[in-house]
Amino acid sequence: MTSDNRLVVCLVGLAVWILLSSLDDLFIALVAIFPKGRRRCRWPTAAEAVRVPERRIAILVPLWEEHRVIGRMLERNLAAIQYANYDFFAGAYRNDTLTCAAVAEAARRSSRVHLALVPHSGPTSKGDCLNAIFDCLLEYEAANGVRFEVIVIHDAEDVVAPESLRIVNWFSRDYQMVQIPVLPLPTGLAEMTHGVYCDEFAEYQLKDIPARQRLGGFLPSNGVGTGFDRNALERLAATRGGRIFDPACLTEDYENGFRLHALGCRQIFVPLRLPASAPVATREYFPRRLRAAIRQRSRWVAGIVLQGWQHHGWRAPLRQLYFFWRDRKGLVGNLLSPFANLLFLGWLAGWRGFGGTPAWAARLCSATLSLSLIHFLIRTTLSARVYGWRFAAGVLPRMFWANLLNCAATISALRQFAAARLCGRALAWRKTDHKYPACRTPGQGRLGELLVRMRAISLEDLHAALGTCPPGMRLGEHLLDLRKLKEEQLYQALSAQAGLELGVPDGGEVVRAATRALPADTIRRFSVLPYRVDFGQLHLLTPEVPSPRMTRELAALCPLDLRFRLVRPKEFERLCKQYLA
């Protein structure tokens, strides 16, 4: 066989695979666009969500070396969540002393936060950590005579949507598993790796999961923002020795989604809602560097594809076999995609090896190219719906980058899985390092809307203030001038909006040496006062909600993570006089 013939054989084989996969993706897109006349799931109105009695909700947060972010995560979400009947159970291993101390500090500040101490050294696996947290929850229930009816899972990097617990509470009356959408926080066009997550999650949340739900497939949990009915989890635990999560599974969220569906539990993915302000979803930063992204994605491939195949094979009802195929086809597709990219670029360059391709093979390649173009247009449109057309302009180069990223992750997953099987050991939990937003993120709501929800002002006062607010003046300052609002109420709203702790720290928290951690001119320029250093963080007092520019410039001066605390202007002046010469 000549080299040209070998090229044609490889080209045709690759084209057949791409054609089958692309037709599969096109079918899912058509189901998402034309939902076969089924009733679409609708969000409850704000009034409906408030009227429903609040079930008691426990939020479980598994941790390993998260001391840099967990304090800010808890502060921000405690301030933002619009729900009353909930508690956080943050699980830390006994040998992770910094994370234990950070959670204990948050628990000292809020009675809603509880340190769930994992009794053995870590890290083990996320599922094992969650099981230990659940055991601590049971002890808390026994000691306090309460029972949590809904269990919600979150990670240390999550920005929880203020309405999410109300939405989970609403749907959990009829469904045993409720999935709130998950979306990466927006980043710049230059961040190709994180941009891949943005594109893929926009497509996944707007197309793949809704279509999967309409076709009756099992709903894989996104790992965070998932609410489980307590009784359903106990039924699941009864099937595997009392453990609600499989400690040996790298993707315990996917595994539980499949097993709950097999038990006959009803599942729902709450459709992504895109209001003018920001999507209603759990937001977070995914890995922004290549190595970290490969590390995370290799865990996904190893857990969903390889462990899923190992544990379940292809033993499932016919309808679920189709979704096994969709979840596992990336094992082949990820490895072939970079070669498809090279052949496509060679064709564009007019490589002579394509000159001898038979007409039928050329038509086959043209069909696959047309389907790939349709997929590109769909992904671009969905990415633009969430992140805007300017960001979506980078979808094409990010698709090529995603193919390389997924190929590297698949090779890494295969190597890890093979090594574990040969050595007879379990796959290790390859945890991702997390970053938490240092300033306000989208989704906390506008200040005026928040003041109305807090009943600090009436809707009529808000409309009147918006109509008379002078150009360049902030709404809060204008409301203070009109005497429609007290300064205390304004700062409570600003604190909730930005997810910042509010109020003057106790005298014992202020370390005089720390107040000189920044140059004096920087303190004056940005109106910030450092007051404590711990857990690799610099704590600062400020009378203003920190802007992104202010945060970037301060971060350039200090190698520590920045953590802000909001105080009123007079309090800030008093503290500066007290601690600064």
The model's confidence at residue 523, banded by pLDDT at 50, 70 and 90, is confident
Domain termination site, one of 282, 304, 323 = 282
Per the model's pLDDT, the better-predicted residue between 247 and 501 turns out to be 247
The model's confidence at residue 304, banded by pLDDT at 50, 70 and 90, is very high
pLDDT at 2 over 70: no
The model's confidence at residue 12, banded by pLDDT at 50, 70 and 90, is confident
DSSP state letter for 515: G
Pair of tokens at residue 45: 């109105």
Query: Of 197-206, 248-257, 504-513, which gets the smallest average pLDDT?
Result: 504-513
Query: Of 221-225, 338-342, 461-465, which gets the smallest average pLDDT?
Result: 338-342
User: Is 331 a domain residue?
Assistant: no
Residues 538 and 491 in one domain: no
Residue/partner pairs of 388-392 with CB below 8 Å, 24 or more apart: 390/189, 391/186, 391/189, 391/195, 391/198
Residues 450 and 551 in one domain: no
Task: Please count the structural domains in the chain.
Answer: 3
Q: Which domain holds residue 464?
A: 445-498
Torsion, Cα of 327, 331, 336, 341 (10° steps): 50
Residues 71 and 181 in one domain: yes
**CATH number of the domain bearing residue 78:** 3.90.550.10
Q: Judge if the upstream peptide bond of residue 123 is cis by omega within 30 degrees of 0.
A: yes
- Contact in structure between 257 and 220 (CB atoms under 8 Å): yes
Residues 217 and 127 in one domain: yes
Average pLDDT over residues 266-292: 87
What one-letter code names the amino acid at 29? Answer: A
Per the model's pLDDT, the better-predicted residue between 365 and 443 turns out to be 365
User: Is 407 a domain residue?
Assistant: no
Query: Of 244-253, 263-272, 353-362, 564-573, which gets the smallest average pLDDT?
Result: 353-362
> What pLDDT shows up at residue 442?
42
Residues 159 and 275 in one domain: yes
Q: How far is CA 536 from CA 64, 101, 499, in A?
A: 15, 12, 20
The C-alpha atoms of residue 436 and residue 308 are separated, in whole angstroms, by 31
Which of the residue ranges 119-133, 525-539, 543-557 has the most confident prediction, judged by mean pLDDT?
119-133
The model's confidence at residue 362, banded by pLDDT at 50, 70 and 90, is confident
* Among 469, 488, 487, CA closest to 478: 469
User: Is 406 a domain residue?
Assistant: no
> What pLDDT shows up at residue 434?
65
pLDDT at 438 over 70: no
User: Is 371 a domain residue?
Assistant: no
Per the model's pLDDT, the better-predicted residue between 243 and 509 turns out to be 243
Residues 249 and 216 in one domain: yes
What one-letter code names the amino acid at 64? Answer: W
Pair of tokens at residue 287: 């890995």
The C-alpha atoms of residue 218 and residue 20 are separated, in whole angstroms, by 22
Mind listing the pLDDT tens digit for each residue in 268-278? 999 988 875 67
The three-state secondary structure class of 268 is strand
Mind listing the pLDDT tens digit for each residue in 141-161? 999 999 999 999 999 999 998
**CATH number of the domain bearing residue 535:** 3.30.300.160
Residues 523 and 483 in one domain: no
